[in-house]
Structure 1
Amino acid sequence: MPWTNNSGGGGPWGGGGRSGGPWGGGGGGPGLPQPPNVDEILRRGQDFVRRFLPRGFGGGKGLAILAAILVGVWLLSGFYRVQPDEQGVVLRFGAFNRTTPPGLNYALPYPIETVTTPRVTRINRIDVGFRSPVEGMRPVATREISRDVPEESLMLTGDENIIDIDFAVFWRIRDAGEFLFNIRNPEQTVKSAAESVMREVIGRTPIQPALTEARAQIEQAVREGTQAILDQYRAGIEVAQVQLQKVDPPAAVIDAFRDVQRANADRERLRNEAEAFRNDIIPRARGEAERFVQEAQGDREGRIARARGEAERFTQILAAYSQARDVTRQRLYLETMEEILRSSSTVLVDDKVQNLVPFLPLNDLNRARQTGQPGADRPQPLPSAPGGGIPAPSARITGSPR
């Protein structure tokens, strides 16, 4: 029932009988303000709605239809779309309830359930040991203008040397529910875990491998260690890559260290050159030695064969000499003289040969002697003139003809 003014129109709080509206205090009197008239507000709301409804929808039936329409619109407001690079996180009365995949999904309308759609495929980056002033730029391009952070970059190696390391951690969201509710500051968590693992890995690695060939192993070990820590936290984060940007000695000793590096490089180069020379000269020397051995072996076999042949020949000559001494002696004499006269330039003519005209091939003998052909100075037999002829005179010709 409405509040009525039974005591002069001043309301239950009193108004001095003056009409000043529901919040009025009378005609300027000192009375307290009156509360709003709820029945009047509801009546005015019904009148406002009836203006937009067709005739015949008045009363309780029209309000029921209107309420049904409003409820339907409220229920339809629960549909939402998750983009391909996002993951839906549904909160029921502010508490995590479930995650939804990309596409069209449904959640109970507000205020029962609310939806958050973080981007889970975007690669995020955290710099450790330095700060790049330009967001998203590669550290290689901004190395001159990046700011070093010594309290993060200076680390102790396994052989108790100080090393300056700058690196970047690339990560993305793997589980949006864990990411939103299990960790308070995701970036700081990833940074602290990566820095801790990097110090542990560098503390087990000597400085020389860390500066040269062990960079890939360090990156892999830090990525796996950081991922293990985040999995223990159930952070819902996947570490995609750890990239070393700078691995150098401290700036105060970097010049001296580079001198040592150059000396080590020269030593390694000279060692490689000596090894290459050794690998070249030793096989050649072994080949030469093997060739000499084979030649000596062949000469040995030849000498043995010749000696055996000479011994066999001497044995045969001895047997023939035992049977016919004069004939054998004469044959040996002739063979010996043949060997002696083979290099002589003397031409012998037998004066006992009758009815033969001696033919001396002097031109051929001179040509052979000039060209140095073997046998040019051998005694040449005199061929007989064709068809017989006058007996050859007895003569002995020595030297070259004039």
Structure 2
Amino acid sequence: MPWSNQSGGPWGQKGGSDKGDKTPWGSGGNGGNNGGGGNNNQPPNLEELIRQSQDKLKNIFGGSGGGRNGGTPAKPSLGGKGALFIVLAAVVVWLLTGIYTVRPTEMGVNMIFGRYTGSTGEGLNYNLPYPIGQVIKQDVTTQRRTEIGLGNRDQRNTLGESLMLTGDENIVDVSFFVIWQVDSANVDKYTFTLADPAETVKVVAESAMREVIGRSNIQSIITTTDQSATAQKVQDTIQQALDSYGAGILVRAVQVSAAVPPAQVREAFMDVNAAQQDAVRAQNDAERDASQIVPKARGEAAEIIQKAEGYKAQMVAEGTGQAVYFKDLYAAYATAPDIIRQRIFLETMENVLKDSNKVILDQKAQGAGVLPLLPLAQPDARK
């Protein structure tokens, strides 16, 4: 100990009444009364509290030393019970450090001596602490983004990661990104299989895009209407490759940001693309007009057909009636030819002259020979 029980600590001798024996508060202690301060206005005697604590520790560890009245305390010696108590306390504290918390967005990967033993979900969990056990927490809900060909343009041209060869031997500049996350069902594979998951996804995505571009022609790649199909093919290819590696990664989406020809021939390709879009627009307009005109024309055709069928039925009925009429007329003519001939003449002249203006001249009359117009065949106004 830095001071003895008789020394009174660093501030002087204990319990003395000498004015030179002072506590940190400026006056001597009166340890004979209550072991505390010299009077009611002073704080407790810290020396006495320290001394009492030392005595208790000595009792626990089995040590012995000098009392208050003098003598230098002997070095404490640890007994068997005290050492066992310290060891057990240290083991309990060490075991308690194995309690850990997993957030709702995470999963814990437990290891014992570096060997995978299982995964844990959200909440309080336990694993043997370091150095025997270890827990790696992985975020399984955050969606990560890996970009290919979206960096600085000079850097892109240097790396060449965005320039790809198409199936018809053209070069296209493709920029895209991949959205992926950790597969919660295979979090152990994600933890132990890949050293750099983001770089692995980037390399696999670039390889998959080159494979799909190499099987397609440039027109289908640079046309915006076909880029979604290209992105879906790339996503399927990336997922198959990562599954074969046992990467424990789920590919959520692949989005093509741009697919354009190289700068040297870009204007010509843009003209071709614009012409194709105009052709699609004209085709859509034609289909819209056809959807309006064709039903109308079909309705008019059906109306004409119905009128023709009605006219046909009318003509057939009239022809049938006239045939019956002529048969009856012929039978009557056979019995009285003169009468029937005269009747036919009169009926014919009636049909010819009924709608024309008529002027009757009498050749035997003297003078002009014009007779007044007779109102023949005038319709009855009452009808």
Which range, TM-score by smaller chain?
A: 0.5 to 0.7
Q: Write the deviation string for residues 122-168 of structure 1: whole angstroms up to 9, x where unpaired.
A: 22221111228xxxxxxxxxxxx997455100001111111111111
Deviation at 1:341, TM superposition (A): 5.9
Aligned AA for 1:122?
T
Q: Which of the residues 95, 100, 103 maps onto 1:80?
A: 100
| 1:65 and 2:85 are equivalent in the alignment | yes
Deviation at 1:177, TM superposition (A): 3.0
Matched ranges for 1:35-74 at <5 A: 51=54, 53=56, 56-59=59-62, 60=79, 61-74=81-94
CA distance in 2, matches of 1:230, 1:379: 103
1:160 alignment partner in structure 2: 169
Deviation at 1:301, TM superposition (A): 4.9
Secondary structure at the residue paired with 1:57?
helix
| 1:206 and 2:206 are equivalent in the alignment | no
Matched ranges for 1:1-400 at <5 A: 51=54, 53=56, 56-59=59-62, 60=79, 61-131=81-151, 148-149=156-157, 151-174=160-183, 175-212=186-223, 213-273=225-285, 295=307, 298-299=310-311, 301-325=313-337, 327-328=339-340, 331-332=343-344, 335-336=347-348, 338-339=350-351, 342-343=354-355, 378=377
TM-score scaled to structure 1, two decimals? 0.62
Deviation at 1:344, TM superposition (A): 6.3
Deviation at 1:274, TM superposition (A): 5.1
Structure 1 residues 202, 308: closer, same or farther in 2, change over 3 A? same
Deviation at 1:294, TM superposition (A): 5.5
CA distance in 2, matches of 1:217, 1:307: 68
Is the 1:88–1:101 Cα contact (8 Å) retained in structure 2? yes
Secondary structure at the residue paired with 2:247?
coil
Deviation at 1:331, TM superposition (A): 4.4
Structure 1 residues 233, 274: closer, same or farther in 2, change over 3 A? closer
Secondary structure at the residue paired with 2:269?
helix
Aligned AA for 1:70?
A
Aligned AA for 2:182?
I
Unaligned runs of 5+ in 2: 1-50, 63-78, 361-373
Aligned AA for 1:189?
T
CA distance in 2, matches of 1:379, 1:102: 110
Aligned AA for 1:157?
T
CA distance in 2, matches of 1:380, 1:252: 92
Deviation at 1:100, TM superposition (A): 2.5
Aligned AA for 2:92?
G
Deviation at 1:263, TM superposition (A): 2.0
Structure 1 residues 118, 227: closer, same or farther in 2, change over 3 A? same
Structure 1 residues 325, 113: closer, same or farther in 2, change over 3 A? closer
Deviation at 1:380, TM superposition (A): 7.5
Structure 1 residues 269, 106: closer, same or farther in 2, change over 3 A? closer
Aligned AA for 1:249?
P
CA distance in 2, matches of 1:228, 1:84: 28
